[in-house]
Chains A and B, each alone.
Chain A
């Protein structure tokens, strides 16, 4: 195998930054392909784009949908 490393960086109060992964697999087995060099994986569960962070952890107000 290659010597590529997968690195996960903790962002307290925010997502996990992941470098070097090919996909992120959800609890239901759905694999989300990684399409950028660094991805932010949601940890708060509020994102509308799971598994990716959409900054919803910042939005203190109730979410609005259209």
Chain B
């Protein structure tokens, strides 16, 4: 993949540094006075800069010649500065999320019981999202494709962030995470790799499977929802949050995927699109149980002090993904309004 086009001073700073002469001296990308970023969770420039820095840890960029860029100390400084601001904004959003849930201590006798009850409770409240209902009943083919384009930023890298957590946890939680990831990665069958299923869905619609154009058009909130997984997965201290995030993500996936599947059938989209969502209704019903009971419960049985982080990660997932969904719906509404007016 090539570097995406920057869209402001922060992402320009990162891209310029990555394009600079390999191994030559380069400036620390100016972490623009973070005061200029009023709301990092929807700031496209901010999230794009962070996304590019994270991508160096995944597949990287064809047009970045410096093979050491991934662990370049100056880029690490930039990443850390962006991450601090991002994490602060996420924690603030979580603290502002209305929460009628009982305290963890009141939900069970052991940390494992408490965390299981908390995760089941917080994910039970959310029905199929407004986005899923829109795709089910109302979306045009064009709007459906714009949804796939938006989600491509995650699905073309589906499940990769969580793989970074495997060496950071132990025992039964590690075994359960490996089991979940094995399924995400095709269960031994390359043609069933979930990332590949999504790429085939894009291809069946004549859409590119190159990630860069999707990153360039994704909203700041969508980039934030993907960066959130990297933030949690690439920082060992946040491993509890990474697994809580995974549990909330999987537990709120099956029912929406069923709605999206029906929308795809309504629009008579190609089989590859149907296949992707069809697979996820069944797979995510399994993954939800593995993530909540297999991973998170076992993790806090092993490391009880991580219980609040697991809940933090789950709450952050629901809040940030909810934000990204609202931005998407607003875009569709505005598009329809503009077309009606035009």
Interface residues of A (CB under 8 A from B): 9, 11, 13-15, 17, 35-40, 48-49, 52-56, 58-61, 66
26 contacts between A and B (CB under 8 A): A11-B293, A13-B120, A14-B289, A15-B285, A15-B289, A17-B286, A17-B289, A17-B290, A35-B187, A37-B187, A38-B286, A38-B290, A40-B286, A40-B289, A53-B286, A54-B282, A54-B285, A55-B258, A55-B284, A55-B285, A55-B288, A58-B123, A58-B254, A66-B136, A66-B137, A66-B266
B184 to chain A, nearest CB (A): 11
Interface residues of chain A: helix, strand, loop or mixed (majority): loop
Asked if B281 contacts A36 (CB within 8 A), the reply is: no
Nearest opposing residue in chain A for B288, CB measure: A55
Assembly CA distance A38 to B283 (angstroms): 9
Asked if A38 contacts B254 (CB within 8 A), the reply is: no
Asked if A66 contacts B187 (CB within 8 A), the reply is: no
Given contacts A17-B290, A54-B285, 14 further A-B contacts (CB under 8 A): A9-B289, A9-B293, A13-B120, A14-B288, A14-B289, A17-B289, A37-B179, A40-B285, A53-B282, A53-B286, A55-B255, A55-B281, A59-B128, A66-B262
The answer to whether B127 has its CB under 8 Å from any CB of chain A is: yes
Q: Contacts of B288 on A, CB cut-off 8 Å?
A: 14, 55
* Other-chain residue from B128, B137, B179, B284 in contact with A38 (beta carbon distance below 8 A): B179
